[in-house]
Amino acid sequence: MRRLFILSFFLFSLCCEEAMAQPDVEQRIEETIAQMTLHEKVQLLHAQGKFSSAGVQRLGIRELHHSDGPHGVRAEVDWNTWGTANWTNDSIVAFPSLTCLAATWNRDLSSLYGHAIGEAFAFRDKHIMLGPGVNIARMPLCGRNFEYMGEDPYLAGVMVVPYIREVQKLGVACCLKHFFLNNQEINRFGVNVHVSERALNEIYLPAFRSAVQQGGVWTVMGAYNKWLGTWCCENDSLLNGILKRQWGFDGAVVSDWGGVHSTLGAAFGGMDIEMGTNTDGKTIDRSHGFNSYYLADAFESLVRKGEISEKVLDDKVRRVLRTIFRTSMNPNRAIGKQCSPDHYEACLRIAEEGIVLMKNDKHLLPLGGNRYRHILVVGENATRSLTEGGGSSELKTKYDISPLDAIRDAFPNAKVDYAQGYYSGRPLYGKAQERLDESRQDALREEALSKATEAEVVIFVGGLNKNGFQDCEDSDRKEFALSFGQPELIKALATRNKNLVVVTFGGNPFDTLWSSSVPSFLHCWYLGSMSGRAIANLLTGETNPSGHLPITFARRLEDYPCFKGGERTYPGVDGEVYYDEDIFVGYRYFDTFGVASAFPFGHGLSYTTFAYGKPSVRVTEDAIDVDVPVTNTGKCGGKEVVQLYVGVAKEKSRDFAHARPLRELKAFDKVALKAGETKTVTLTLPKHALQVFSPDSHRWEMRQGKVRIYIGTQHIDVML
Burial class (CB in 10 A: 0-12, 13-18, 19+), 291: middle
End-to-end CA distance of the chain: 13
How much is the pLDDT for 279? 64
Q: Provide mean pLDDT across the span 14-28.
A: 58
Measured distance CA(469)–CA(691) in Å, rounded: 39
Q: Quick one: how far is CA 7 from the chain centroid? A: 32
Is residue 49's pLDDT more than 60? yes
Query: Which residues are known to be catalytic?
Result: 256
- Number of helical H runs and strand E runs in the chain: 16, 29
Examine the pLDDT at 447 and tell me if it is beyond 50: yes
- Express each pLDDT in 100-141 by its tens digit: 999 999 999 999 999 999 999 999 999 999 999 999 999 999
C-beta of residue 642 within 8 angstroms of C-beta of residue 669: yes
pLDDT, one tens digit per residue, over 531-568 is 999 999 999 999 999 999 999 999 999 999 999 999 99
Specify which residues 703 forms β-bridges with. none
40 close to 32: Cβ distance less than 8 angstroms? no
- What confidence category does residue 289 fall into, taking pLDDT thresholds of 50, 70 and 90? confident
List all residues 6 or more positions away from 449 whose beta carbon is below 8 Å from its beta carbon.
Answer: 489, 492, 493, 496
Cis peptide before 132 (omega within 30 of 0): yes
Domains of the chain by start residue, with CATH: 1-18+609-720 (2.60.40.10), 341-552 (3.40.50.1700)
Instruction: With beta carbons less than 8 A apart as the criterion, state whether 72 and 65 touch.
Output: no
* CA separation for the pair 127, 124 (Å, rounded): 9
Please check the confidence at residue 229 and state whether its pLDDT lies above 80: yes
Whole-angstrom distance, CA of residue 631 vs CA of residue 651:
33
In this model, does residue 720 exceed pLDDT 60? no
Q: What percentage of the chain exceeds 70 in pLDDT?
A: 92
Q: How far apart are CA 191 and CA 205, in angstroms?
A: 19
- The predicted structure's pLDDT at residue 223: 98
Ramachandran sector of residue 537 (left: φ over 0; alpha: ψ -120 to 50; beta: rest) = alpha
Nearest to 172, CA basis, from 398, 329, 321: 329
pLDDT of residue 428: 64
Q: In Å, how far are 43, 54, 473, 498, 518 from 49, measured between CA atoms? A: 12, 9, 22, 57, 52
- One-letter amino acid at 455 equals A
pLDDT the model gives residue 607: 98
pLDDT at 429: 61
Output the pLDDT for position 705: 75
Which alpha helices (DSSP H) does 84-204 contain, by range?
98-104, 107-123, 153-169, 197-199
pLDDT (mean) for 337-366: 97
Report the pLDDT value the prediction gives residue 1, as an integer from 0 to 100.
Answer: 38
Residue 679 pLDDT greater than 90, yes or no:
yes
Q: What is the pLDDT of residue 430?
A: 56
Q: CB of 247 within 8 A of CB of 212?
A: yes
**In the predicted model, is pLDDT for residue 17 greater than 80?**
no
d(CA 544, CA 537): 8
pLDDT for 340 beyond 50: yes
Inform me whether the pLDDT recorded for 413 exceeds 80. yes
* Residue 10: per-residue pLDDT: 38
Provide the mean pLDDT of the chain.
92
DSSP 8-state symbol, 56: B
pLDDT reported for residue 653: 58
Question: What predicted TM-score, i.e. pTM, was given to this entire model?
Answer: 0.94
Interval 410-427 mean pLDDT: 93
- Contact between 523 and 482 under an 8 Å Cβ cutoff? The reply is no
Name the more confident of 719 and 87. Answer: 87
Whether the pLDDT of residue 156 is over 60: the answer is yes
Which segments of 170-273 does DSSP mark as H helices, in order?
Answer: 197-199, 206-213, 263-268
- What angle separates helix 341-354 from helix 531-540, to the nearest 10 degrees? 50
Residue 622 has a CB neighbour count (10 Å cut-off) of 12
The predicted pLDDT at position 21 comes to 44
Question: What is the per-residue pLDDT across 233-286, written as a single tens digit (0 to 9) for each?
Answer: 999 999 999 999 999 999 999 999 999 999 999 999 999 999 999 865 444 444
Residues 3-17, mean pLDDT to the nearest whole number: 40
Look at residue 315 and give its three-state secondary structure: helix
Is a pLDDT exceeding 60 seen at residue 7?
A: no
Whether 652 shows a pLDDT value over 80: the answer reads no
User: Mean pLDDT across the stretch 70-89?
Assistant: 91
Angle between helix 23-35 and helix 310-326 axes, rounded to 10 deg: 130
**Cα distance between residue 166 and residue 216, in whole Å:** 11
Measured between alpha carbons, how far is 517 from 492 in angstroms, rounded to an integer? 9
How confident is the model over 341-348, as a mean pLDDT? 98
